Homo-oligomer: A and B are copies of this chain.
Amino acid sequence: VTNKTPTVVLIGTGKVAFHLSTAFKQAGIKIVQVFGRQSDKAEALSKISGATFVTEIHKLQDDADLYLVAVLDQAVAEIAGLMPRTRGIVAHTSGFVDAEVFKPYFDNYGVCYPLQTFTADRQLDYRDIPFLIEGSSMKTELALSSLASKISSSVTLANSDLRSKMHLAAVFACNFPNYMHIIAHEIVHETGLPFELLHPLMLETASKAVSMVPEAAQTGPAARHDMSTIEAHLNLIKRMGLKHEEVYALITEKIIEKYNKPNKQ
């Protein structure tokens, strides 16, 4: 990778690959080739950047500066073994796959992990997406950081151990809150009232946790150890025939433990 804009090959046609190719296009970075097993998806993605596409992995060109492997975690190792050998940098985009997965096959490798939740057809401001970068050498790390900096204003070096912890944290910051929203949605649906009534609360909850810290933002019956409301909520869940008692009980217990230790014997 020199000072000129690097040439990039994109491997994968999922949500991350789609958003990265859009982000690259916006940043003026040239994707030269796209690989995907399904030709319709590979073709669609290649059109975003005016790249060529291949559906057989051995047909990938071997002279690009960077190969971004944006596939499911469990497919990264297989892809690495099937790709042509190259002197370019090979990097995956996973939060949880070790960078060393590439070691048997490549001299220059690393990770370029966008710490965000991606959905097809949803616009994102790519400048806001934090990228966690790891490289097999300082030179590789610099090249990957430089590339990520063209897309995002938040680029951080993090080895595979740190990255896996951030990935775990992301499950608690995103996937689990969303499941709580699903339960809230189900309960509101039972009332016949519009789910929109909860929207300001959901947005304010995230906004508070960001502008204060979540420890200071905790409210509700469990935080104030209000056992009569907690009992009434559990009875209501049963009465409504919902299957969320266990989740309510466990999280409530944990919040009580955290905020009310002095009250316990």
Contacts and interface: CB of A to CB of B under 8 A. Distances in A.
A28 B124 CA distance: 40
**Identical subunits present:** 2
Interface residues of A, number: 93
Q: Lowest 5 A-B CB distances belong to which pairs?
A: A175-B220, A177-B177, A181-B214, A206-B206, A172-B184
A123 B88 CA distance: 51
Contacts of A1: none
B172 A183 contact: yes
A158 interface: yes
Contact of A158 (B128, B168, B193, B228): B193
B172 A73 contact: no
A105 interface: no
B165 A191 contact: yes
A236 B165 contact: yes
23 contacts: A72-B224, A115-B198, A117-B217, A165-B191, A165-B240, A166-B193, A166-B198, A169-B184, A169-B191, A172-B181, A172-B187, A172-B244, A173-B180, A175-B255, A177-B177, A177-B206, A178-B218, A181-B214, A195-B213, A202-B209, A203-B206, A203-B207, A206-B206
